[in-house]
Amino acid sequence: MGFKASDGSPNASKEASWSDEELQSTIAAYVEIQEAERVGAAVNKAQTYRLLSAKFERSPGAFERRMQNISAVLDAWNLPWIDGLKPMRNIGANVRPRIAKLLRRAYGELAKNTEAYEAEVLLHLESTPAVAPTGSVSPALTVRTVTTFVRDAAVKAWVLESSKGKCECCGEPAPFQTVDGYPYLEVHHLRTLASGGSDTPSNTLAICPNCHRRLHYGEDAGDLRRRLLQTLPRLIRE
């Protein structure tokens, strides 16, 4: 006892004063577990608590409870939380905003390279300058870790094959042949894998690039999706 909340030293007083570093590490671990579970990787939560416990000299159980507080914040935002870490709502009034802020930052980091860029494009579109921007002759490089799903090649091949070279959305023939001599169509998951969709023929369709982009970015994407579910007997709503 007797240390300031921002002390951050391993011996800082218990429950009352979590340092930013502790909260940040806990949130980073939480997001990591969530990402791992999302892609179906093996996760050892107890091990994570032990590692945090060793680093910060707080009991493993304290980290588990803190993670349940994180679940509570996510739940309040209507975002998915980690299975088995039931939202625990008794968060200190002064800690909740800190968790919220750090959590937003952690998720922002995850999405940075795509969403932030697109959001910025939208801002620029609203105020297009008269003069062409200089851009960058040699754009800086950034390293990013991409978490992705293991997809079944047989499913993709089967769906492409059964489309007979026609877009299953608009019915038009594939826009061109590939170098391998196949009609070029793209495979789309009606319910995205990221939101828990399956990689099966009943959730997958072969479509032209225009329809594909439209299903991802079109204002009428929802209507299109409903229409596809009605017209393609193979598809099952997930």
Chain positions contacting Zn ion, by CB under 5 A: 167, 169-170, 188, 208, 211
* CA 52 to centroid of chain Cα atoms: 24
CB of 38 to Zn ion, least distance (A): 17
CB of 170 to Zn ion, least distance (A): 3
Indicate the residue among 62 and 167 with the shorter CB distance to Zn ion: 167
Exposed, middle or buried, 161 (CB in 10 Å: 0-12/13-18/19+)?
Answer: exposed
Residue 177, strand partner residues:
183
CB of 147 to Zn ion, least distance (A): 17
Cβ neighbors of 52 (< 8 A, separation 6 or more) are 22, 25, 26, 29, 58, 60, 63
The separation between the first and the last C-alpha atoms of the chain, rounded to the nearest angstrom, is 52
CB of 41 to Zn ion, least distance (A): 23
CB of 208 to Zn ion, least distance (A): 3
User: What is the rounded distance in angstroms from the CA atom of residue 34 to the CA atom of residue 60?
Assistant: 18
Sign (positive or negative) of CA dihedral 80, 81, 84, 88: negative
* Tokens representing residue 93 in the block: 């009034």
Indicate the residue among 106 and 224 with the shorter CB distance to Zn ion: 224
Indicate the residue among 119 and 221 with the shorter CB distance to Zn ion: 221
Indicate the residue among 60 and 218 with the shorter CB distance to Zn ion: 218
Indicate the residue among 58 and 188 with the shorter CB distance to Zn ion: 188
